[in-house]
Chain A
Amino acid sequence: MTEYITLSMILFTIGAVGVLVRRNAIVVFMCVELMLNATNLALVAFSRQHGNLDGQVAAFFVMVVAAAEVVVGLAIIVSIYRTRRTTTVDEASLLKL
C-alpha cells in the first residue's frame, strides 16, 4: 500500500513543480491534471485499504469536476489567446500595481 501512496506523492510533486516552472498555459493545465490524477490514485488506494468504495466515489467526483474545470479553463485560454495572441501565463500579469 505504501508504494501506491509514495507513487501518488511523487506524481503530485512533479505536477506541482511543472505548474511552477512551465509558462505555456496549456502545459500548466496538463500539470494540474497530473496533480488531480495523482490524488485519484491515492483515493483509490485508500479505498482498497479500508475496504469500502467511498474513495472510488470521491475519485469519480474528482474526475467530473476536473472535466468541468478543463472545459472552462481551456475556453479561457482560447479567449485570452484570441485577444493577446499568446498562451504564456506570465503575459497575463496585470493583477498588480
Chain B
Amino acid sequence: MLELAWLLVAVPLVSGLGLLVWGKEGDRVGHLIGTAASSFSFIVGLICFFQILGRDEGDRSYSKSLFTWIEAGPFHVDMAYTFDQLSGLFVLLITGVGTLIHVYSIGYMEHDARRRRFFAYLNIFIASMLTLVLASDYLVLFLGWEGVGLASYLLIGFWQHKDSAAAAATKAFVVNRVGDVGMALAIMLMFAQFGTTAISEVNVSVNAASTSTATALGLLLLLGACGKSAQVPLQSWLLDAMEGPTPVSALIHAATMVTAGVYLVVRSNGVFDASEAARNAVIAVGLVTLLAGAWIGCAKDDIKKALAGSTMSQIGYMMLAAGLGPAGYAFAIFHLITHGFFKANLFLGAGSIMHGMDDDVEMRHYGALRAAMPVTFITFLFGYLAIIGFPGFSGFFSKDKIIETAFGHSFWVGLGALVGAGVTGFYMTRMMMMTFFSEKRWKEDVHPHESPKVMTYPLIALGALSLLGGAMMLGGWITDFLEPVVGHAEHEELAIPAWLLSVLITLVVAVGVALSYVLYSREPIAAETPADESVSFFSRAGRHELYGNELNEAVVVRPTRHLTRFLVFLDGKGVDGFVTGLADRLGDASQLLRKPQTGFVRSYALSIFGGSLVVVLALLAARLA
C-alpha cells in the first residue's frame, strides 16, 4: 500500500477540483463525495501507517519518487513522497480529524447554498496539507505550503459577502506572504549553499556548513513557520481568521494547518540542531506566543476568538518544545496531535453551541447551556479537561512533558511554561463558566437545542480521542517511535523527581481554575461586554490582542503607506509630470495654433495669398542679394 500512498493526495485533489467544476447537479451529492474522498485518504493512511508499524524500527521510512519535477543541470527536484513515522502521524491526524470535520460539516453547512464548494475547498485543503507533510523535498513542501495558504484564504473568506470575512481572508493571505518570503528565501539559500532542496540531504549537509549559514537558514524557516503557525510577530491574522465557518476554524486554524510551522521546525531538525541561535529564537518565539495567546484568551468574549487565543498559546508550547532540540521534538509532535484532537473537539463544540444559539458567538449571551445541550456539554468538558491538563487526559501527558523538558533546558523557560499552564486553566474555566454554568443570559427568541447526530457523533469521537490520546505516551512509545526521524537525546534528570513536577503543574492549573471559578461564580456575569474604560489594563490589552494590529499598523503599514505615497508623488509629479507636462505644453501650443483655424475658406485663401506674396518677396530678396 505504501507505493500507492500518492493516492492520499490524489483522491481528495481530484475530488476537490471535480466538485468545483461540477455544475448544480453536484449539489445533491457533493458533500458526500467530499467526505468519501477524505475517508478514503484516512483509510489509506491507516493502512500505510500499520504497514510501517509492522516493519523493523530502522526501516520504517518509505520514500518513492513519482516523477522528475525539475531538471536543470545539477539541480534536480523529484516529485517524491516520504512516508515515515513523523509524516505517518500527521497523515493520520489530518485525515482522521479532517474526516470527522467533513462529517460534522455535512450538518453544519446544511443550509448553505454553496455547501458543494465548501467541501471542494476542504478537499483541496486536505490534499495540500498531505502534500506538505509527505513531501521529501522543500520545493514540493512549498507547493503544499502555498496550497494550504490558498485553501485557508478561500475558506476564511467563504462568506465573502461579509466585509469582515473578506478583510480577514485578505489579512491572513498577506501576513502569510510575509512568512512565505522567509520560506522562499530559505529554499533559495539551501539551493545556493547545498545545491539541493531535498529535506534529507539538507539535514545532513547543514552539519558541514558554517554555523552562520545554519542560523540564517533556521531563522528564515522560523519566519515561515511563524507566518503559518500564527506565532509572534506574525500572529495577527489568526484571530481574524475566525470569520470563517467554524469547521474551518477547527480543521485549519486549530488542528492542522497552523501546526505546519511546528512540523517544519521538527522536519528541519538537522538545521536547528546545527544552530543554537536558531533554536533559542524558536524558544523565544514559542514562549512569547504561549503567554500572549493565553493572555488574549483570558480577555476575549467571543468564544471562537478565545479559542483562537488558546490555539496560539498551545502552538507556542509546541514551538517551545521544538526549540528545545532533540529532547523536545517528540513532545512537540505529541502535543500537536493531542492538541489536534482536543482543540478540534472544542471548536466543533463551539460550532455546535453557535448552531443552537443562532450563530451568536458572544459568550456573554450564553450561560447554563449544559442542560440544553448535554452531548455538546459532555464532549466540550472532555476537551476542557484535556487542554487544562487534568490528570489522565491527553493534554496532561503532552503538556507535562513539555514543561518538564523546558525546566530541563532553563529554569526561566520552564517557569514561563508553567505560568502558561496556570493561565490556560484560568481562561478555559472562564469559558466553561460563561457558557455552560452561571445563569441564562440568552437573547430573546433564542432557543438552544442539541445539534443533529451528524454533528454530535464527530464530537463524541473527538471527545474520546481527547481522553485517550495520552495513551500514545504509555511506556514512552511516541518518543521511541519518532526517534529515528528526530534524533535521540538523553533524558536530563531534574533536581526534583518527575512525579513531583507533575503534581506541581497540576496544582498551578488548579489555582488558575479555582481563581476563575471564584471570580465568575461570585457575582453574575454581565450580559454585555463592559466598556474598555471599566476594565483593568490586562483585560483591555487582551481584548485588543495585545495591540498587535496597532503595532503592525505603526511599524509596517504606516511607514509603507508613507513611502508609497512619496513614491506615487514622485512618480506623479516627477516622471509623469515631465511626460504630461510636455504633452500639456504641446496642447497649449496647439490651442494657440487653433485660433487661426476659423473654418472660413476665405481666411485660408487669404493665408495662401499672403504666403505666395512672401514667397515672391523671398525669391526677390534672394535674387537681389
Task: Enumerate chain A interface residues (CB-CB to B < 8 A).
Answer: 16, 19-21, 23, 89-90, 92-97
Contact = CB atoms under 8 A, between A and B. Distances in A.
A41 B605 CA distance: 23
Contact of A92 (B597, B598, B601): B601
A95 B597 CA distance: 8
Nearest to A95: B599
Contacts of B606: 20
12 contacts: A16-B609, A19-B602, A19-B609, A20-B602, A20-B606, A90-B601, A90-B602, A92-B601, A93-B599, A95-B599, A96-B599, A97-B597
B161 interface: no
B329 to A, nearest CB: 79
Interface residues of B, number: 10
Nearest to A93: B599
Contacts of A97: 594, 597
A93 B594 contact: no
Contacts of A21: 602
Contacts of B601: 89-90, 92-93
Contacts of B605: 19-20
A93 B597 contact: no
A16 B600 CA distance: 16
Contacts of B599: 93-96
A20 B605 CA distance: 7
A96 B101 CA distance: 74
B597 A23 contact: no
Contact of A90 (B594, B597, B600, B609): B600
Contacts of A93: 598-601
Nearest to B610: A20
Contacts of A89: 600-602
| Dominant secondary structure at the B interface | helix
Given A95-B599, A97-B594, A97-B597, 14 more contacts: A19-B602, A20-B602, A20-B605, A23-B602, A89-B601, A89-B602, A92-B601, A93-B598, A93-B599, A93-B600, A93-B601, A95-B597, A96-B594, A96-B598
Contacts of A23: 602
B31 to A, nearest CB: 66
A90 B600 CA distance: 6
Q: Which 9 A-B pairs have the closest CB atoms?
A: A96-B599, A93-B599, A96-B597, A89-B601, A95-B599, A93-B600, A20-B606, A16-B609, A19-B605
A96 to B, nearest CB: 3
B599 to A, nearest CB: 3
Nearest to A19: B605
Nearest to A21: B602
Contacts of A16: 609
B163 to A, nearest CB: 48
Nearest to A23: B602
A74 B415 CA distance: 109
Contacts of B598: 93, 96
A61 B605 CA distance: 24
Nearest to A96: B599
A23 B601 CA distance: 10
B600 to A, nearest CB: 5
Contacts of A94: 599
Interface string B559-593: 00000000000000000000000000000000000
Contacts of B600: 89-90, 93
Contacts of B594: 96-97
A89 B606 CA distance: 14
A3 to B, nearest CB: 20
B148 to A, nearest CB: 61
A75 B129 CA distance: 83
Nearest to A22: B602
